[in-house]
Amino acid sequence: MESSVQSETSIADGAPRSTSERKAERLAILASLRQEMEYLNTIGKRFVAAFDRFQVHRALLETLQDIYSFSACCILLKSEPYQLFIIPCYPLNPTFLETMIKRIASAAQALDFLQINAQQLARTAYLDAPDNLARNYRETGHLAGPEIGSSLNIPLTVENRIIGMLSLFDEKKGTFDTDMLRWTTMIADYAAIALENVSLRERENALWREAELERQRLELIITSMAEGLLIIDSTGTIVKMNSAAQRLLSQAQLDSQDNVPLRTLARTGDVPWLPRLSKIVEAALKGKTVTNQELVVGTSGESVPLTLSIGASPLHDASEPHATPIGVVAVLNDVTSIKQIDRMKDEFVSVVSHELRTPLTAIKGYTQHLVRRIERRLRKISPSSTQVADPPENYDLRSLNIIQSQTEHLERLVSDLMDLSRVQWSTLNLHFETFYLADLLSDLVRSVQASAEQHTIRIEILPSDTSVTADRERIGQVVGNILDNAIKYSPQGGQITVRLSGQGEDYQVSVIDQGVGVSPEHYAHIFERFYRVHNTASHQYTGIGLGLFVARAIIEGHGGQIWFDSTPGRGSKFHFTLPHTPRPPES
């Protein structure tokens, strides 16, 4: 290194130098390097200290003024739309200003600023006047222009990417010495990095502001929601609840500040419904979406206690939607008024069905009496007598038979409605006795087959012993109902199979038909009261949608289960299990 410096110096000067001369030369170079580094350090510090766009402008102006005396410095940024900042050193003549903007536009065009427009730039240009500008003017009375003597344009680049352009203008000629170009470019580089940092910070701040605004908006929505809202973390602790939730759950005095998981509160507290709420939350924490869960949070002394319908959904991390939930969001709806209407409806149905029973019994009794009288009279008319072949009594008898069958239909409806009330008020008292299930099924099949000529009813009894302790009449009602449905919903006839099989401690009864079937969207509702897939309005099927509701209550009252599977257009299979001896219903 040293020798190469020496030979270069020798060739340039044409004469060898002494050691002391070389040393002096090296010291001079070092001194100038140190000076340069110190200067660079000063510049660096100025730009690093600049926190916003305008402080960068000041740092730039100050640094450029160290090396030149000029009229104005301009920064054009390649943002969308382009932004032009004019930083004058002293007030500018309007013609000077106008020409300056035109020159900036044409220099920028050459530097690949697409479709830049001088008029537009002039309209949006920002005059960033330093604080001392007015004072300078008052003191000197100096106004730059109108002519531009010299100008200099330097691209502002960050990592080889042009982010803008720096332009310097002066009214005098020859201001921007090419000797200083290296320094000006270096200053421009510092300014470019500082401006890029500012715009990154501005963008970050804007994002924060937006996020904060969004948070406030969400907070407002949550607070003003009529529904109660609970936000629960992965440990099952309530972290947020709105005022509606606070009001609805006031009995438990829950507080999101307590930091205690619901399951602990449920275990240690004496609020009767907390364990159920905790169970719902635990299910959602396992990833299950829970809907329409009823929670009675009022006291039983009230005519209709405060009742909530709860829905709880797992919250998943957006980046890991299949991972374990990070929390739960639960929505609480006050359904007390619906319960109140339900209760009034139930009371009405209960009263009406009881009231209908008395006149029905009378109609039935008197019709039977009349039928017997006419039958007696008809028997007295001898077929060999000369009287008419079809006596009027025959017509009367046919009419009475119709009254009888319609009365029976009405009686079945009334008895379904009364059963509904019994299920609602939990007064469906079951009377257990021991009998053979096979006998009951055979009797039922025989009687149903007698009135269903279009269908063939097959019976399959698989277990050898079919002894069971159950409510014979009620189980007969369940099978009769399912069999009636199998016939009703197989309008083309076909085969119906009643199968009795054994399943450990339980019997299983299945009724299989080849009828219209049920489509999947109805599966979850078919055992609900008054639910009908095949409505009377759109189809010819009579019924009020209570048979399966009551059937489920009867089977569950025995500790069994009832379910079905079906293929639309191909048929349905209804099954229920019945324990050999009744057992408490599964909760």
Binding residues for ligand ADP, per CB under 6 A? 481, 485-486, 489, 513, 515-518, 526, 531-534, 543-549, 572
Nearest by Cα to 74 from 121, 142, 42, 117: 121
Q: How far apart are CA 182 and CA 152, in angstroms?
A: 13
Question: By C-beta, is 228 or 547 nearer to ligand ADP?
Answer: 547
The token pair that represents 451 in the structure block: 């009135």
What's the number of CA atoms in the CB half-sphere (13 Å) around residue 194? 25
Q: How far apart are CA 575 and CA 587, in angstroms?
A: 20
| DSSP secondary structure, 414-479, as one string | HHHHHHHHHHHTT------EEEEHHHHHHHHHHHHHHT-TTEEEEEEE--S--EEEE-HHHHHHHH
Question: By C-beta, is 39 or 531 nearer to ligand ADP?
Answer: 531
Minimum distance, C-beta of residue 572 to ligand ADP, in the bound complex (Å):
4
Minimum distance, C-beta of residue 474 to ligand ADP, in the bound complex (Å):
15
Minimum distance, C-beta of residue 211 to ligand ADP, in the bound complex (Å):
51
Minimum distance, C-beta of residue 279 to ligand ADP, in the bound complex (Å):
29
Minimum distance, C-beta of residue 311 to ligand ADP, in the bound complex (Å):
26
Minimum distance, C-beta of residue 368 to ligand ADP, in the bound complex (Å):
26
Helix, strand, coil shares of the chain, percent, nearest 5, are: 50, 20, 30
Question: By C-beta, is 187 or 546 nearer to ligand ADP?
Answer: 546
Question: By C-beta, is 191 or 486 nearer to ligand ADP?
Answer: 486
The token pair that represents 469 in the structure block: 């302790």
The answer to whether the bond into 325 is cis (omega within 30° of 0) is no
Question: By C-beta, is 266 or 562 nearer to ligand ADP?
Answer: 562
- For ligand ADP, the nearest residue by Cβ is 543
Minimum distance, C-beta of residue 379 to ligand ADP, in the bound complex (Å):
39
Question: By C-beta, is 88 or 515 nearer to ligand ADP?
Answer: 515
Neighbours of 467 (CB within 10 A): 14
Question: By C-beta, is 334 or 513 nearer to ligand ADP?
Answer: 513
Q: How far apart are CA 286 and CA 267, in angstroms?
A: 20
Question: By C-beta, is 240 or 522 nearer to ligand ADP?
Answer: 522
Helices (H) and strands (E) in the chain, counts: 15, 17
Minimum distance, C-beta of residue 344 to ligand ADP, in the bound complex (Å):
23
Question: By C-beta, is 263 or 474 nearer to ligand ADP?
Answer: 474
Q: How far apart are CA 586 and CA 476, in angstroms?
A: 22
What spatial distance separates the first Cα and last Cα of the chain, rounded to whole Å?
92
Neighbours of 461 (CB within 10 A): 16
Minimum distance, C-beta of residue 541 to ligand ADP, in the bound complex (Å):
7
